[in-house]
Chains A and B, each alone.
Chain A
Amino acid sequence: MLKVENISVKIAGNQILSDISFEIEEGDILMVIGPNGAGKTTLIKAIMNTVKHTGKAELKGKEVSKISPLALARQIGVLTQKNAQLFPYTVEEVVSLGRYAHQTGILGSLSPLDKEKIEESMNLTDIAHLKDRSILTLSGGELQRVFLAAVFAQDPDLLILDEPTNHLDLQYQISIFDTIRQWVKRENRGVIAVVHDLNCAFNYGTKALILNEGKVEAFGQVRDVLNRETLKRVYKVDVAQWMQTLLNYWN
């Protein structure tokens, strides 16, 4: 579905990413993990062609950099880590922005389908009761769900999520990933998610990509990639040991 070939990014003389290649198929949930500064967010930008890079990303055989922003937005939805919020837009207005690429009328009014998708997305992320609230009055977790809803409203084939469970409490972390797992089951869909929580990567991922210092440390099926030795090497901590210790608290 998405094929990334030899992507490298250099910003102000610093090599941020070198020679990244991987591929995901329909139905995949690819978990991108790695320590802070490994280049995860930059990888998303390179795929979406919003940062200067060499190499290429192909979506269903077509080079992403050659697709217009409008056509691309109908196929790929991106949840960014940082979203500016300055003016008191309502939750519903922000989620409606997800329909931008689908609105065709000159006046840009919402079609019944647009309205349906907006409502569906708000229900999916459990924010329908907030729809008239100003986004400036929301908590971090509520806001994250609003931006997630906007991406769902975009109705893309490929979801790229940069730390989707950021700011979310456990209940919503689980429900969001359950939702994503359901979502991807439909034909022709795929997910790439940058996550920090390795348990979450294990539990929900089909594939994993470990980035370290801008290079691919490992890529493949989750069970093959997330092994004790690799994680130890990347995080410089015996992760498995640490998880065992944590688990003991609960036993």
Chain B
Amino acid sequence: MKPSNKNINIKKLIPKSLIYAIFIALFLTGLLLSVWVGSVDIPIFDTLKILLNKLPGINFTHNIPKSYIDIIEGVRLPRVILAALVGAALSIAGAAMQGLLRNPLADSSTLGVSSCAALGSVLAIALKLKTPILPQMGVFLSGIAFALLSFVAIIALSYRIDPSLSTNTIILTGVIISMFAGSMISFIVFVSKEQMRNILFWTMGSFAGRGWEYVAITAPIIIIGSLGILGYWRELNAFALGEEKARYLGVSVKRVKITIMVFVSMLVGVSVSASGTIAFVGLVIPHITRMLSGPNHRHLLPLSLIGGATFMMFTDLASRRILRPAELPIGVVTSLIGSIIFIYIFHSQRNKTS
């Protein structure tokens, strides 16, 4: 039976530039709201002025109390920027994994890449792994290395079990790897004498108390990884027709696959090391974006980037406010939304194939 093409015609009606405009507007709104709302009340115009002051050539801050500036610039802004960076990273990484594996359910959390990155970071902390220049860098590098390792392992294992790399096989392999990594994390955190933040941080994620030093480490890696993936939009489109076909179109399949995997691992590894495993962002955002802009990676990738950043700022805001003054781990919010959308995609896919 042929599905109706009604929704496709609607999609044609939304111009791409309008989608970009809406995404950017939402992003800016999210940024302002996230910095504005907090335990100390700061007037929204003062917030806006302090933010605009960050732009070159603007000086608005003369009659604003110093404490406001300190709270916004020193406490709220780095946390919000980190959330945006991590959201962008997880989201574009998810879109890339879905394209690469032709699997709409692929995400760093469903594949187990996030859990393995967390395991890497936990191990580095427990073993007091120190790197020469930046002491915390060891945690990040170990997270990235474990992410890459797990990604390779998942693909190799799935190929072994089922060379067609069907959705179910990959997801099942991811579940197994996730469970393994999860139990290892719990074990290490439990026996380690090192002062380690609690297990909840690694399994549910949080941006609480993150300062500029985290932004300084994550920003360059996330920018490089994202630009790297953005450069492969045509190859990711070709992969949608299958690896053999992509090769006949002229894509160096193996090289491209490995490169994308390295970029994805950088993004996931650094995000998890900075804020723990925040599940399902890479599933939810590309899915919603695809419904609006279509599957072409030319637009899917940049829109997922902006959408992911926006989504993460809003969920971080929600996690701060829902049970205030207590803070919910952000992963509670993303997993709640994500699991519902996961079931929805899984269900609609089943209908399509049967």
Interface residues of A (CB under 8 A from B): 45, 48, 50, 68-70, 72-74, 76-78, 80, 82-90, 93-94, 97-98, 100-101, 103, 106, 108, 132-134, 136-137, 139, 150, 154
Contact = CB atoms under 8 A, between A and B. Distances in A.
Contacts of B248: 48, 73, 76-78, 80
B3 A97 contact: no
A88 B295 contact: yes
A89 B296 contact: yes
A172 B5 CA distance: 24
Given A133-B8, A137-B8, A97 B249 contact: yes
B231 to A, nearest CB: 8
B202 to A, nearest CB: 33
A86 B271 CA distance: 29
B8 A93 contact: no
Interface residues of B, number: 30
A132 B290 contact: no
A59 to B, nearest CB: 14
Interface stretch (B52-60, B236-244, B319-327): B236-244
24 contacts: A72-B250, A74-B250, A77-B248, A78-B248, A84-B241, A84-B242, A86-B102, A86-B240, A87-B295, A88-B294, A89-B237, A89-B295, A98-B249, A100-B234, A100-B238, A100-B250, A108-B234, A133-B5, A136-B3, A137-B4, A137-B5, A137-B8, A139-B2, A154-B249
Contact of A134 (B8, B237, B249, B250): B8
A100 B249 contact: yes
A102 B5 CA distance: 32
Given A90-B294, A136-B3, A97 B238 contact: yes
A93 to B, nearest CB: 6
Contact of A73 (B2, B3, B250): B250
Contact of B244 (A50, A103, A106, A137): A50
B251 A69 contact: yes
A77 B241 CA distance: 15
A113 B247 CA distance: 22
A104 B253 CA distance: 18
Given A87-B240, A97-B234, A108-B233, 8 more contacts: A80-B244, A87-B295, A88-B295, A90-B294, A97-B237, A101-B249, A136-B3, A137-B2
